[in-house]
Amino acid sequence: MSLYDLTVKDTQGNDVKLDEFRGKVLLIVNTATGCGFTPQYDGLEALYREYSAKGLEILDFPCNQFGGQAPGTEAEIVSFCKMKFGVSFRQFAKIEVNGENASPLFTLLKQAVPEEKVSGLKAKAAMKAISAISKTAVNPEDIKWNFTKFLVDREGNVVARFAPTDEPKAIEDKIKELL
């Protein structure tokens, strides 16, 4: 199964075929509006504004599995993100990324790149603490927390997975390589 064979729900509950993004570089992120990493929306929006004309799409999937940090309806999440961070990239319906109700998209992403590489002592310490409190990350490939990022090339290949501690700016060079 290819990423392009999957269908997800938008914030209105409508089906969106991921085939719509064929030929684009994708940055797929599980997000939350009440998380310590929520300010990364600024960095994601900056990447989108800089590179969307060259073929970058950012796909935002709110997830409430980590500490209940994505409360509210899809409409409330969209409103918050637009008002606070000026988000203009695509946002989708809330999903689960781990467990028996995990989105098929995130199951595919995790299978393609089962581990995130964490570098730097501060980031490693943060991820160790996150892993200790994450109740839904029970398997090694599971997503540990909000703002895990997956980079997909123009052919639909998942080429990298980035930890929540990786700021969007830090992955800019990898995005530019694919564009």
What pLDDT, on a 0 to 100 scale, did the predictor assign at position 116?
73
Contact call for residues 142 and 37 (beta carbons, < 8 A): no
**13-39-152-9 Cα dihedral, nearest 10 degrees:** 0
Residue ranges of the domains in the chain?
Answer: 3-178
**Catalytic residue (choose from 8, 29, 35, 47):** 35
Q: Which pLDDT band, with edges at 50, 70 and 90, does 28 fall under?
A: very high
C-alpha triplet 49, 158, 14: angle, nearest 5°? 65
Contact call for residues 150 and 115 (beta carbons, < 8 A): no
Euclidean distance between CA atoms 7 and 66, whole angstroms: 24
Topology of domain 3-178 in CATH is: Glutaredoxin (3.40.30)
Rounded mean pLDDT of 5-33?
A: 97
C-alpha triplet 24, 29, 34: angle, nearest 5°? 150
Contact call for residues 167 and 120 (beta carbons, < 8 A): no
pTM summary value: 0.92
Express each pLDDT in 37-93 by its tens digit.
999 999 999 999 999 999 999 999 999 998 888 988 999 999 999 999 999 999 999
User: Is 35 labeled as catalytic in the residue annotation?
Assistant: yes
Query: Using the 8-state DSSP alphabet, how is residue 22 labeled?
Result: T
